[in-house]
Homo-oligomer: A and B are copies of this chain.
């Protein structure tokens, strides 16, 4: 029987009577994909999943598991509708932001280095509690971070693109930065956000401030950051950088006071159960002829 749906996992609930094929992008795509109307692109698997779109003549719905689908939109054939993975990564990204903040405040790189040499040398550390945290980006990820920061007894100052009840506007950054112990960036890559944290903004931060980025690397002017961290005046914990991948010989890698993880915030174990639940619901809707969730393109 020709498959009507192509999905990346075999361990999810499939509606009775719906023929599906599984492809997780680890090998070549299946041969017979002519009947595929619903295609869930394998997550974070390079460029092959997107290339397959053009080879699916019956395609009606493409489901991305990413929140941002800017690079997929131009690949959509006329009449094919694209759904995104809005919300699936929120908790994973928020959690990684907390991991980076804790690691920086509690000096984890130092203890991990000491562990390698069996050294019990002790010193008191900074703390997250009582710290004033500027949360730049107050969407669903920012709000998930905010809940965890408040539970840790930090003081949270949310900043959204424009001022609104419960959040400052990004235009107020010049006044807010000098009071911040920690700045967390959770911004998409747009013309408005590119380089929003440059030399002037970094210089406005107080001594020993921590800059955390779990959004997109382009929000920070990397050269300006490099200059500030190289003097030890401020610190940084970055899951995203500009450029990515960061070249092996880039000086940012070895700056003291800098923690770098390789753009992995969104892909932790907490993502998969949520992604699978979404795909199960989408398959149910597809089989029942109902409207899909998270559609980002009109008919």
Residues of A within 8 A of B (CB): 44, 91-92, 95-96, 98-99, 102-103, 105-106, 108-109, 111-130, 147-148, 150-153, 244-250, 253-254, 259-264, 267-271, 273
12 contacts between A and B (CB under 8 A): A44-B124, A98-B98, A99-B108, A106-B268, A111-B260, A112-B259, A114-B262, A119-B248, A120-B246, A124-B267, A124-B268, A127-B269
**Are B115 and A112 in contact, CB atoms less than 8 angstroms apart?**
no
Q: Is the CB of A98 within 8 A of B92?
A: no
Does A111 contact B262, Cβ atoms closer than 8 Å? yes
B153 touches A121 (CB 8 A): no
Can you name the residue of chain B whose Cβ is closest to the Cβ of A152? Answer: B148
Q: A262 touching B122 by the CB < 8 A rule?
A: yes
Question: In whole angstroms, what is the CA distance A275 to B37 when docked?
Answer: 65
Q: Is the CB of A126 within 8 A of B262?
A: no
Known: A118-B246, A121-B262. 10 other contacts (CB 8 A): A91-B127, A112-B259, A115-B259, A118-B254, A119-B248, A120-B245, A120-B248, A124-B269, A124-B271, A151-B151
Residues of B within 8 A of A122 (CB): 262-264, 267
Q: Looking at the complex, which one of B95, B248, B259 makes contact with A128 (CB distance below 8 Å)?
A: B95
Is the beta-carbon distance between A268 and B111 smaller than 8 angstroms?
no
Q: Which residues of chain B are within 8 angstroms of A254 by Cβ–Cβ distance?
A: 115-116, 118
Are B109 and A98 in contact, CB atoms less than 8 angstroms apart?
no
Bound form: Cα–Cα A205–B249 in Å? 43
* Chain B residues positioned under 8 Å from A260 (CB to CB): 111, 115
Q: Tell me which residues across on chain B come within 8 A of A112, comparing CB atoms.
A: 108-109, 112-113, 259
Q: Do B118 and A253 touch (CB < 8 A)?
A: yes
A111-B260, A147-B151, A270-B127 are contacts. A96–B92 as well, Cβ < 8 Å?
Answer: no
Nearest CB in chain B: distance from A1 CB, A: 33
Contacts of A114 in B (CB 8 A): 262
